[in-house]
Structure 1
Amino acid sequence: MAEGTYEFRVSGEISERIRDVVGEFSEMRIVAAGPATLIYSSVPDAMHLHGILKLCEDLGLHVVSVQRLPDPQRAP
């Protein structure tokens, strides 16, 4: 169920310090998106998904939404 690529939308722009911490997780990509920031990550299982959410909480990020992205290899 949890396996796939996810988009985590957090409110506001994130600081360079937080970008550096998140950037330590090589599978994460950070994209500024207006009044929000998008973090993309490959998620192999539910434990990893919960770990990313815990990291966001520990960094004081307000997660607005979490969305599993469609798998391009499964597209019709």
Structure 2
Amino acid sequence: MSSGRCEFRTAGHLSEHTRGAFADLGDTAVQDAPPETVISGEAVDDAQLHGVLALILNLGLRVVSLHEMPR
């Protein structure tokens, strides 16, 4: 994967505590898009992309979709 912006859509609404887990992605990384939540940020390499995905799964969130938006 080349670096670019990634957008994960997860089912449901995230609590403030869960939103805080994504603070490293920036202030606007987590946005409500009922009935889903959009988590987005820059991914510089595959390792970072997999790290965000692992965090999402470890929090027990269900991924609805993943989109990569190349620069």
Same fold by TM-score greater than 0.5: yes
The 3-state SS of whatever aligns with 2:20 is helix
Number of residue equivalences:
70
Q: What's the % identity of the aligned pairs?
A: 37
Name the TM-score, length of structure 2 as normaliser: 0.88
C-alpha contact (below 8 Å) 2:2/2:70 kept by paired residues: no
The normalised TM-score by structure 1 is 0.83
Aligned match of 1:33: 33
Unaligned runs of 5+ in 2: none
**Residue deviations 1:15-71, cap 9 Å, x none?**
111011222x14361110010000111000000000000000111111111101243
Structure 1 residues not aligned, in runs of 5+: 72-76
Q: Which amino acid aligns with 1:39?
A: I
Matches within 5 A, 1:25-64: 25-27=24-26, 29-64=29-64
RMSD: 1.4
AA aligned opposite 1:36: E
Larger radius of gyration: 1
